Amino acid sequence: MRFKLTFLLLLLILPLALANLRVGFYGRSCPKAESIVQASVRRRFTRDKSITAALLRMHFHDCFVRGCDASILIDSTSKTSSEKDAGPNLTVRGFELIDEAKKALEATCPSRVSCADIIALATRDAVFLSGGPFYRVPTGRRDGLVSNPDEVNLPGPTLTVSQAFQSFRAKNMSMDDMVTLLGAHTVGVAHCSIFLDRIIGSDPTMDRGLRNKLNAICSAASGSNPDPTAFLDQGTPLTLDNQFFKQIGLRRGVMKIDQELANDPLSKRTVSGYAANAALFRTRFAEAMVKMGNIQVLEGSAGEIRKNCRVFNPRRRV
């Protein structure tokens, strides 16, 4: 009986012992790590509040391909393409902010802080600066050794709720997690080419006033700006709040997937709950971001700690 109890206790303890991701991972090896990243984000946010949407998108695109391993940061070369070359990633931006933070970290504590952790921390800090929740980010991720554009298969904006959920379920995320994370669109934008079919086809699920407004924006396309953008949240587009859910409840969702969230029985209840309760959304958003940041992470001796986030470390010869 004692053996069985001991064995069961070990089963409970082992997952905790093997999980190297934890809040304060750099407490001894690089005590100023989080404040250094935060300083870089604050400088950028002061002059460009849209950086929050850019970092949220980068973090999502990274975690949903091979896990949160900073594979999205690798530059392509004349011989090898990287994830940056994949269609969905061509408009991902904010890489220079990650470079700035990494340079400062390398000057303070060389080869200690991973690029994957920088993405997670920078995203958290930008969310907070945009009025969203401040949440504790477990760190200790390692950087990946592979960046393959052929592996980039992300849920697109024209999918149905059920179709989009297939990608989230494959990453162990629930329907509520998906709805919550798509709430990040409250600070996002979309190019006209993404939603133009809804305007031209007079989509009956779109509010007429919004359709006219978007039509005016897209009609202003020019040689210097052939594919204009529109805010996905028509209420408070630069604030991370629950306004997005209120908007789609009024048929003011810009992208198809956004409006589908408010209409589909699988997701509409969660949408209504967030629209009515800002505090609930803030709490769940923080939880969902932490959960997403744990997708297929590399820990311990797996992967590497890159010295330059854009290139893999030189391989050591044995």
Six token digits for residue 184: 């990040």
Q: Quickly tell me which residue has 């407004």 as its tokens.
A: 213
Given a contact cutoff of 8 angstroms between Cβ atoms, the answer to whether 59 and 134 are in contact is: no
Retrieve residue 95's tokens. 């890489």
For residue 5, give the DSSP letter.
Answer: H
Alpha helices in 130-277 (DSSP H): 161-170, 175-182, 192-200, 208-219, 243-249, 256-263, 268-276
Which sequence positions are flagged as catalytic?
A: 61
87 CB-side CA count, 13 A: 5
- Residue 237 CA to residue 243 CA, distance in Å, equals 9
> What does the block give as tokens for 88?
């969905």
166-204: b (≥16 Cβ within 10 Å) or e? ebbeebebebbbbbbbbbbbbbbbbebebbeebbeeebe
Question: How long is the chain?
Answer: 318
